[in-house]
Structure 1
Amino acid sequence: MPIFAYEAINAQGQKETGELEAANRNQAILEIRNAGLKPTKVAQRAETAATKKSAAKEEKGPSRTKGGKIKGKANAQQLTDFTAQMAVLIDAGLPVVRSLKVLSRQQKPGAFKFILEDVSESVEQGSSLSEAFSNHGRTFDKLYVNMIKAGEAGGILDTILQRLADFMEKSQRLKKKVIGAMIYPIIVMSVAVMILTGIMIFVVPAFEQMFAEQGMELHWMTAMLVGISRGIVSIWGIIFVGVVIAGAAGLMAWGRTPGGERVIDKLKLKLPIFGPIIKKAVTARFTRTLGTLVMAGVPILESLNICKNAMGNVILGEAIDKVANSIKEGETIAGPLSETGLFDDLVVNMVDVGEETGELDKMLMKVADTYDVYVDIAVESLVSILEPVLIVFMGGAIGFIVIALFLPLVGLIDGISQA
């Protein structure tokens, strides 16, 4: 279908530009007017090889599973951008179907574009927006679907979409900060390992051959270095690397089993230095998710069930399950949270105050903000400590190699001087 570029004037008298697909120019003008705009210029965009390829891909349609569901899903950034834009369109008074069509046209060809088109079609056929989203569980999780359902029930869909967008933006921001902070230490460690491996494989054997030709007696440091180098380049070194790789692969496979995942998640929380950071990061995710759901009017038991599956840690997920069971028996949230022993006093006290004052959602969001700041500072502090430690380690290792290689040469020079 041809693509038309247009310029138009909106109800406020402001100029707007954009693109849309239409069978012909007259249909394009009609669609622009239906959107509440006054077109001033409409022209068909020249079709390039890239757009022809894109159109062919769209005509072919999305890849689907045996069950008929669209393969693939949106990435976190795509979903965040879509949610924020959808909130703006709904707030501006555009109907849900038209908003979905506008946003689907903006997407590049791919799984998410097809998903939005499918959602739009489902809503046109009479499904609610939450029902249409629930058909694509890989992209729209339970948290997302339940929030939309609450927004539809309360007539505050635009507000809920904005809260969802804020929630996802904050989660994305924290994740990017943590990943960004760890990139430099990982690069330094990787470079150090490659340099040391290269020295042990190529440089040390050359020195060993020279020492043997000169008949030199090796210092214990040099002998140790030569022994390590021989081990690395020998068949036993290859076997050792193979065993390490196989062991790591086996551990990862075991970690995906329910029992293995539980053990690993428990160890994560008990790790020195890293454990408290992981615990607070997961707690921040829990309180922000629960606060967002409660703010949207989702029932507390349903909210806790969603949080349990979104925790990212089996041990803390089980603790949330126990809290939900206690609430079913008539208890408050704060008491069972305290009994788990996994949540700090700050969390318990803030939840307790929130329940007493009827502002649980606000208190939960304050806890989440506090813990996000703590995690951010803790990660930055950890990285600032790791950087000099890695540099000292690398310098020490290279220094040891240099000294070990030159000790025999010093002995040789002394012997020549005495002669």
Structure 2
Amino acid sequence: MATFRYTAKDINSKKFHGKVEANSREELVTLLRSDNLYLLKCKEYNEEGNHYKIKLKELAELCRQVGTMISSGISLIMAMNIMTKRETNPKLEKIYKDVYIKLQQGFTLSNALVAQGRAFPNLMINMIHSSESTGMMDKTLLKLADQYDKDSKINAKVKSAMFYPIILIVVTVGVVMLVFTMILPNFLTLFEGMDMPFITQVMFAISDAIINYGHWILIVILILIAGISYLLRVDKVRLQFDKFKLSIPKVGSLLKIIYTARFARSMSSLYSSGVSMINSLNLAKTTVNNAYIESQFDDVVHSVRDGTNLSTAISEVHGFDAKLPNAIYVGEESGKLDDMLQRIADDFDFESEMAIEKLVTLLQPVMIIILGVLICMVVVSVILPIYSMYGNVSGKG
């Protein structure tokens, strides 16, 4: 018997967290139903814990290879045995080996994945759980492979696109430190005793602070960064920050496309794999990665459970592109919601890639302007006293 940590909801969408012993996920669902609770997510509790979280690229490779082997007639147990023997990463090998052993013991694949702690995402576990009863595990795994492959490529594009802005930030910081610690101090003796303009006084004051109190300034900056990071982990602060991001000019509209793409892709994969509408919504909302949007889904789930169309319920969510509810409505009216969700996902995948490129493109001129303004301020602060000195000399002459 295993011990499960679970998150569940009652009929009023109130969340409950707990720990209970059960032989399988199905038994856990039955136990919770007897208390009028509905399982949202669960994982097997292990005192040792598995703290390795499998990367998107690794998930895509696992799903693709196992899915291909199953569709070729190889049994699931044999497929996992092959994956274990081929894996060169010790951490992954340990996880795959444990999954293989649990399959031999009679565990279903979804329960074997749950037993690995946080290694596998809930979306993957629930999709596989649904496919176990429909006999479409190979297709589900290949669909998951495509999804994680797309997610991995998008993340790689973001990292690649952010390389230039990061270089600009490093150059900006480097230039500022060079100017304030090595160049400006050389002019201090030249202007000593002069009535300097305000901007020059400010620049010299900053230079003096960096030279004499640089280590304290660095400590304060690190404390501020740590403090902000801590505050963003507080639910209320994170919710307000994520809400604020949606209201930023230009950036907010681009983020909406990215969030819509994530939700549509996850919802498409879950619903077309046989996961119920309510469970699909509860799982898909967690993939958006925006606390404000996620907080609105309690009302969405409640409305859908009461018989409201998904398109109507989704239209009340602030943070998604307006095209989403309209496309879902067409799918509901045509009776092909799963096909329409797939088309929406493909469409928004392309739009999200364009949105990411635009978002990064916006950062580049901003950084160049900031660097230019800093250099301009330093140049002006030096030129004004020199010009004043030249004027005094000319007047005496």
Q: TM-score, normalised by structure 1?
A: 0.77
Q: Which amino acid aligns with 1:111?
A: K
Alignment of 1:288-299 (within 5 A): 288-299=265-276
1:384 pairs, out of 357, 361, 380, with 361
Partner of 1:150: 130
- Residues 1:268 and 1:406: Cα distance change in structure 2 (over 3 Å): closer
Higher relative contact order (CA 8 A, sep 6+): 2
Partner of 2:13: none
Partner of 2:223: 246
Q: Does 1:209 align with 2:186?
A: no
- Preserved CA contact (<8 Å) 1:134 1:141: no
Q: Which amino acid aligns with 2:344?
A: V
2:202 pairs, out of 208, 224, 228, with 224
Q: Which amino acid aligns with 1:152?
A: E
- Residues 1:340 and 1:395: Cα distance change in structure 2 (over 3 Å): closer
- Preserved CA contact (<8 Å) 1:84 1:162: yes
Partner of 1:285: 262
Partner of 1:37: none
Partner of 2:78: 98
1:265 Cα deviation (Å)?
Answer: 1.9
Alignment of 1:213-362 (within 5 A): 215-235=193-213, 239=216, 241-362=218-339
- Residues 1:405 and 1:191: Cα distance change in structure 2 (over 3 Å): same
Q: Which amino acid aligns with 2:147?
A: F
Partner of 2:10: none
CA deviations 1:338-360 (Å, max 9, x no partner) are: 23344443111111111122211
Hey, what's the Cα distance between the residues in 1 that align with 2:140 and 2:328? Answer: 22
1:68 Cα deviation (Å)?
Answer: 4.0
State the number of aligned residues. 352
Q: TM-score, normalised by structure 2?
A: 0.81
Q: Which amino acid aligns with 2:280?
A: S
Q: Which amino acid aligns with 1:115?
A: I
2:168 pairs, out of 188, 206, 227, with 188
* Bigger mean CA deviation after superposition, 110-119 or 397-406: 397-406
Hey, what's the Cα distance between the residues in 2 that align with 1:267 and 1:136? Answer: 36
Q: Does 1:128 align with 2:108?
A: yes
1:186 Cα deviation (Å)?
Answer: 2.0
Partner of 2:155: 175
Hey, what's the Cα distance between the residues in 1 that align with 2:382 and 2:86? Answer: 63
> Which sections of structure 2, spanning at least 5 residues, go unmatched?
1-44
1:161 Cα deviation (Å)?
Answer: 0.6
- Preserved CA contact (<8 Å) 1:70 1:111: no
* Bigger mean CA deviation after superposition, 121-130 or 74-83: 74-83
1:183 Cα deviation (Å)?
Answer: 2.0
Hey, what's the Cα distance between the residues in 1 that align with 2:353 and 2:106? Answer: 45
CA deviations 1:173-201 (Å, max 9, x no partner) are: 22222222222112202211221122112
Partner of 1:61: none
- Preserved CA contact (<8 Å) 1:308 1:321: no
Hey, what's the Cα distance between the residues in 1 that align with 2:312 and 2:290? Answer: 21
- Between structure 1 and structure 2, the one with the greater Rg is 1
1:113 pairs, out of 75, 93, 104, with 93
Hey, what's the Cα distance between the residues in 1 that align with 2:319 and 2:52? Answer: 36
Helix, strand or coil: the match of 2:296?
helix
* Bigger mean CA deviation after superposition, 112-121 or 394-403: 394-403
1:147 Cα deviation (Å)?
Answer: 1.2
Q: Which amino acid aligns with 1:226?
A: F
- Residues 1:152 and 1:66: Cα distance change in structure 2 (over 3 Å): closer
Partner of 1:15: none
2:140 pairs, out of 119, 143, 160, with 160
CA deviations 1:366-412 (Å, max 9, x no partner) are: 22222232232233234334323422332332233234324444555
CA deviations 1:89-125 (Å, max 9, x no partner) are: 1122111111111111221242111000000011011
Hey, what's the Cα distance between the residues in 1 that align with 2:276 and 2:73? Answer: 28
CA deviations 1:187-229 (Å, max 9, x no partner) are: 20221122112211222112202332xx555344433322332
* Bigger mean CA deviation after superposition, 367-376 or 76-85: 367-376
- Residues 1:350 and 1:232: Cα distance change in structure 2 (over 3 Å): same
* Bigger mean CA deviation after superposition, 372-381 or 137-146: 372-381
- Residues 1:122 and 1:382: Cα distance change in structure 2 (over 3 Å): closer
Hey, what's the Cα distance between the residues in 2 that align with 1:170 and 1:226? Answer: 51
Q: Does 1:78 align with 2:58?
A: yes
Hey, what's the Cα distance between the residues in 1 that align with 2:208 and 2:90? Answer: 52
- Residues 1:268 and 1:386: Cα distance change in structure 2 (over 3 Å): closer
Helix, strand or coil: the match of 2:332?
helix
> Which sections of structure 1, spanning at least 5 residues, go unmatched?
1-64
Identity, in percent, stands at 30
- Residues 1:360 and 1:234: Cα distance change in structure 2 (over 3 Å): same
Q: Which amino acid aligns with 2:157?
A: K
Q: Which amino acid aligns with 2:210?
A: I
Partner of 2:11: none
Hey, what's the Cα distance between the residues in 1 that align with 2:312 and 2:165? Answer: 41
Hey, what's the Cα distance between the residues in 2 that align with 1:102 and 1:338? Answer: 46
Helix, strand or coil: the match of 1:340?
coil
- Residues 1:273 and 1:410: Cα distance change in structure 2 (over 3 Å): same
